[in-house]
Amino acid sequence: MRRYFPILEWGAEYNRQVLSADLLAAVIVTIMLIPQSLAYALLAGLPPVVGLYASILPLVAYAIFGTSRTLAVGPVAVVSLMTASAAGAVAAQGTPEYLEAAITLAALSGVMLAVLGFLRLGFLANLLSHPVIAGFITASGVLIATSQVKHIFGISGGGDNWPEMLGNLAANLPDTNFYTLTIGVIATGFLFWVRKGFTPLLRRFGMGEQAAGMTSKAGPVIAVILTIVAVILLGLADRGVALVGAVPQGLPPFALPSTDMDLIAQLWVPALLISVIGFVESVSVAQTLAAKRRQRISPDQELIGLGASNIASAISGGYPVTGGFARSVVNFDAGAQTPAAGAYTAGGIALASLFLTPLLFNLPIATLAATIIVAVLSLVDLKTPGRLWRYSKADFAAHMATILITLLAGVEMGVIAGVSVGLLLYLWKASRPHAAIVGRVPETEHFRNVERHKVLTLPHLLSIRIDESLTYLNARWLEEYVLERVAEKPELRHVILMCSAVNAIDATGLESLEAINHRLGDGGIGLHLSEVKGPVMDRLKDTHFLDELNGRVFLSQDQAWSELARDNGEPSPPNDQYLARGLI
Amino acid sequence: MRRYFPILEWGAEYNRQVLSADLLAAVIVTIMLIPQSLAYALLAGLPPVVGLYASILPLVAYAIFGTSRTLAVGPVAVVSLMTASAAGAVAAQGTPEYLEAAITLAALSGVMLAVLGFLRLGFLANLLSHPVIAGFITASGVLIATSQVKHIFGISGGGDNWPEMLGNLAANLPDTNFYTLTIGVIATGFLFWVRKGFTPLLRRFGMGEQAAGMTSKAGPVIAVILTIVAVILLGLADRGVALVGAVPQGLPPFALPSTDMDLIAQLWVPALLISVIGFVESVSVAQTLAAKRRQRISPDQELIGLGASNIASAISGGYPVTGGFARSVVNFDAGAQTPAAGAYTAGGIALASLFLTPLLFNLPIATLAATIIVAVLSLVDLKTPGRLWRYSKADFAAHMATILITLLAGVEMGVIAGVSVGLLLYLWKASRPHAAIVGRVPETEHFRNVERHKVLTLPHLLSIRIDESLTYLNARWLEEYVLERVAEKPELRHVILMCSAVNAIDATGLESLEAINHRLGDGGIGLHLSEVKGPVMDRLKDTHFLDELNGRVFLSQDQAWSELARDNGEPSPPNDQYLARGLI
């Protein structure tokens, strides 16, 4: 039970002190989350209130099923962008079908995450390497920021990729509303300044470092309040400034998600991508925060927690959610001790939905757009490409492919391309593993690569050290490598495969060994193994390979060398020239 | 030039002796290939003459571009079945559109193979492990044999998967034509007997072993001649026995393949699968035969050779071809010395197309079906599942998944499922690599796994040997593994990662090391590396990792242990209790 309901663990030790810590964190996160929820719903192309709905029940579900003590779930930028892309492919923004698609995405993603968790398939997230994730996040940041520029200028726009977006913006630029632009530019400038200059200012006025840092997170709320006041005082509603308008007051509407199979058939691929991206982002944040307090999270149970959150989002009219970086850090810094803080935050957002929404009528869309732009531009990372180029060309290739394809073909193709390029490069390398011809380091029992060390070799004896497990990916390579090395040495009588680094041999690898044994046998050459690991040897003993082996298995490479060095093909008694020369 | 035109190499040394050897082999292979070509065209759902067309120009193309001296290309059973499945999905058998689809498959497959060859992407064929190939071949054998049973009974049938085929056969069984059934059963029985009993019989009549074996390969030709004679003598054409009928006489019609983009969009996936399966089958045969004569083949150039063959097939009205096992062995055993034997075979088949086709009018379809059934049932391998089960459960799972999905969902899904299951199991294992906590073997410099050997450990010092390269697939595992081991040891002051088996560290692996270093540093624990390989160290030196490393890099594990064992956290001068107890 405790595995699937982590709440039973921390709930048992819950006390008054933890309660007050959690409540304080919840208040701070609630203040931060209200404008963020509205903004990300806007980014997802949904009515702002959907962002609030997605910030209530999902937080409660995560508090029950999640393993991180401090992760704050809810709408996040990248997943909102992916939702807009997927829902936009099946319906037009603003239609009921579009909202239905977004809710269905949350339901599908929730079920997929939960199933992956029960099957303990969290390892699939490993397919996203850091360079691919970093490329995807950078490109998404650029796409998201670009998608919001239209709101700053008060024009229409759109597009699924960067060139399309820029083209639409350029075409509509003459329609710019200058009142909107003024609000947008001031809000953006203010928010940038809050990020950099507000904390030092508060500190100068004598506020403590942590309190100042915390207060500066309220920047978006201040921008929201100030621009609402400006709209009312200056009568900007009549000047064509786009406003949030009427937001339905009340708690989320509960309903079962759609079971339209056509819709599900269209949405399952994007839902899977949303699930994987959301999971990877969330687990990275949760692991980082858990490590700071020496706590542990369970990735497989995190899948179940995020799955429950998304199912909760779907049945309460929300859209896909995951653990967000910025809000989790705020939650952590504000002193949250348990996931209960998330449940209290949910209460705060519920209160806001009940009572504050009428106040949002005059909120300019441009303010929300400014919030998004300032938040996501910090995601754009321009240093990684250079660092990767210097460290690993393969990683650089995967990173740049992800960035370019995300910008040019959209978020879904970007993730797929990044995973594919990474996997292809990995498989390419795995099919060409490292091996070395080794020789004896004089007067020792050690054997080293002949290309890097001064070592002894014998013309009738070839020692090959294989530095990798033998699998189907490298089996063909192994045959070619050994047979080519053999073809180069006409005097050869014995081949020793030094298996000290071979942790496993799969069925294809075994067949390759059999083929090598057979072909060497045809040429009168013995095949020997040395330093075979215990578990590998146990499995080989169950097969016919050792019976058919055209040579012997030696415990150590030294022993193999010493015995085979004497058998140089001349008539017995063994010619001791090598012995005499001190070579063995 | 010689890389792309292997003909330049063997052509330069061509002489009279080689010519006569090649000519003899060509005659024998031609006799074998005529009924086979007709039969496989039938299996592919195409007019029999298309099988002849696919056995002329492709052989000439392979002779120019191929690297195997003895491989015989042409229509083969599995590729014919895949062609039937792919072409059947876009048009009905017997229509011009169906033939066009088959020709387009050859063209697409040819281009894909050639491109893969120029890009040197032959390693992609490694994705098909032996258990997956074996499962696919077994299931294809069952599907092919079942698909021909209708011709033996003289009834109609069809279906894309095994249950469908069996259902259609059962439903149409009442329509059985007993004349057809008699011919079919006798032909099948005769061909089975020829395989087993004909060679011993010929030997008893004093024929040499090789000649007897060769003659018994003419079994299908004998069956063809005898059943044609029976049809004529008994007037079976009027009894409802299905016959081959009029076969157009003449050389193949040359034409450029279709450039209909809709058709290409529908066929590229099956064409890719046909390419990969055909390549893997062909290269396996070519490698086996080359090794017997100590020759070498080049897999990347084989891609180009097979690509050229398929393009040649497409422009001469044929369908996808590849190197066949049975005919290549006959070619080899008959003494073929160079690919010129293939070109002479092409001449033989061309002569047959010109002059022999009228004789085939009275050939019963049931005879061709019997030829196919007897040929493919030898592909069904019932021993492999048991062998795999004993050796490796993962390989068994991939094998059975391939068999079941091929039988139940058809050849395309079968290949895709086999590759996917194999890859998932591989990635699963790659994400959980082998590592061991090691301790010192008393009175030596060796360090071994604490779970398998009696070794010394110290409470403040943890040595972890990582038996795998650090990549993005196992980076998350590495962090969890190290941090969990650390959490178990409260007195810990130093962690040594012994990197003797780490051949590479990719960017994600490096970030994981940085994260581990950071987290250990937070807890006041040092992170040290030992036995880092030269190339790995060279790359690490280009990063900031070594500057930030919260510990040192030691050349040997022994040195690391000896120095760190003294630093047990007590005030300096170092407490020498471990030294005194002989532990270091």
Domains and CATH numbers, chain A: 7-241+278-423 (no CATH), 435-580 (3.30.750.24)
* Cα A177–chain centre separation: 39
Confidence category of residue B232, pLDDT binned at 50, 70, 90 = very high
Using the predicted structure, report yes or no on whether residue B573 has a pLDDT greater than 50.
no
The tokens for A121 are 């398939």
* Phi, psi dihedral angles at B456 (to 5 degrees): -95, 135
Q: What is the pLDDT, as a whole number, of residue B570?
A: 47
Chain B residues with CB-CB distance to A126 below 8 A: 427, 431, 472-477
A74, A321 contact by CB (below 8 A): yes
* Nearby residues of A335 by Cβ (< 8 Å), 6 or more positions away: A21, A24, A25
Judge: B507–A391 Cβ closer than 8 Å, yes or no: yes
Give the gap in angstroms from C-alpha A505 to the nearest C-alpha of chain B.
Answer: 9
Q: From CA B216, how far away is CA B219, in angstroms rounded?
A: 5
A491-533 pLDDT, tens digit per residue, is 889 999 999 888 889 998 998 999 899 888 888 899 999 989 8
Judge: B473–A127 Cβ closer than 8 Å, yes or no: yes
Q: What is the pLDDT, as a whole number, of residue A569?
A: 54
Confidence category of residue A568, pLDDT binned at 50, 70, 90 = low
B123, A427 contact by CB (below 8 A): yes
Q: What is the pLDDT, as a whole number, of residue B127?
A: 83
Q: Which one, of A37, A39, A99, lies nearest residue A73 by Cα? A: A37
Cis check for the bond before A573: say yes or no (omega within 30 of 0).
yes
Using the predicted structure, report yes or no on whether residue A149 has a pLDDT greater than 70.
yes
Average pLDDT of the segment spanning B565-583: 48
DSSP one-letter code for B359 = G
Judge: A483–B507 Cβ closer than 8 Å, yes or no: no
Judge: B130–A472 Cβ closer than 8 Å, yes or no: yes
Facing residues of B461 across strands? B458, B494
Judge: A130–B475 Cβ closer than 8 Å, yes or no: yes
Average pLDDT of the segment spanning B79-84: 93
Chain B residues with CB-CB distance to A473 below 8 A: 126-127, 426
Q: From CA B165, how far away is CA A85, in angstroms rounded?
A: 43
Chain A residues with CB-CB distance to B522 below 8 A: 291-292
The SS3 call for residue A553 is strand
Which of B126, B467, B472 is opposite residue A129, by nearest beta carbon? B472
Using the predicted structure, report yes or no on whether residue A572 has a pLDDT greater than 60.
no
Q: From CA B21, how far away is CA B6, in angstroms rounded?
A: 19
Give the gap in angstroms from C-alpha A394 to the nearest C-alpha of chain B.
Answer: 9
Residue of chain A whose Cα is closest to the Cα of B432: A123
* Phi, psi dihedral angles at B94 (to 5 degrees): 95, -10
> What count of CB pairs under 8 Å joins A to B?
141
Q: Which one, of B279, B285, B324, B274, lies nearest residue B121 by Cα? A: B279
Residue of chain B whose Cα is closest to the Cα of A125: B473
A468, A533 contact by CB (below 8 A): no
Chain A residues with CB-CB distance to B508 below 8 A: 129-131, 395
Using the predicted structure, report yes or no on whether residue B1 has a pLDDT greater than 70.
no
Using the predicted structure, report yes or no on whether residue A300 has a pLDDT greater than 90.
no
A312-349 pLDDT, tens digit per residue, is 999 999 999 999 888 888 888 888 888 899 999 999 99
End-to-end CA, chain B: 63
Average pLDDT of the segment spanning B467-479: 88
Which of A123, A287, A426 is opposite residue B471, by nearest beta carbon? A426
Q: What is the pLDDT, as a whole number, of residue A11?
A: 80
Chain B residues with CB-CB distance to A436 below 8 A: none
What average pLDDT does the structure give for chain B?
A: 87
Chain A interface test: which of B126, B279, B302 (most A C-beta within 10 Å): B126
* Nearby residues of B370 by Cβ (< 8 Å), 6 or more positions away: B148, B152, B184, B187, B188, B190, B191, B223
B265, B387 contact by CB (below 8 A): no
Cis check for the bond before A220: say yes or no (omega within 30 of 0).
no
A229-278 pLDDT, tens digit per residue, is 999 999 888 888 888 888 887 778 888 887 788 899 899 999 999 999 89
Q: From CA B153, how far away is CA B150, in angstroms rounded?
A: 5
* Cα A244–chain centre separation: 33
Judge: B434–A503 Cβ closer than 8 Å, yes or no: yes
B355-394 pLDDT, tens digit per residue, is 888 888 899 999 989 988 988 887 888 899 999 999 988 8
A535-557 pLDDT, tens digit per residue, is 889 889 888 899 999 999 998 89
Q: From CA B299, how far away is CA B67, in angstroms rounded?
A: 8
Residue of chain A whose Cα is closest to the Cα of B475: A126
Average pLDDT of the segment spanning B26-35: 87
ipTM: 0.77
Using the predicted structure, report yes or no on whether residue A582 has a pLDDT greater than 50.
no
The tokens for B274 are 């046909």
Chain B residues with CB-CB distance to A472 below 8 A: 126, 128-131, 422, 426
* H/E run at residue A409: helix A393-409
Judge: A511–B130 Cβ closer than 8 Å, yes or no: yes
Q: What is the pLDDT, as a whole number, of residue B568?
A: 64
**Unique residue bearing structure tokens 């193949």:** B252
Of the segments A41-55, B15-29, B151-165, which one has the largest average pLDDT value?
A41-55
A465, A491 contact by CB (below 8 A): no
The fraction of chain A above a pLDDT of 90, given in percent, is: 38
* Phi, psi dihedral angles at B154 (to 5 degrees): 70, 35
The tokens for A478 are 């192994």
The burial class, CB within 10 Å (0-12 / 13-18 / 19+), for B576 is: exposed
Judge: B294–A523 Cβ closer than 8 Å, yes or no: yes
Give the gap in angstroms from C-alpha B123 to the nearest C-alpha of chain A.
Answer: 7
Using the predicted structure, report yes or no on whether residue B582 has a pLDDT greater than 50.
no
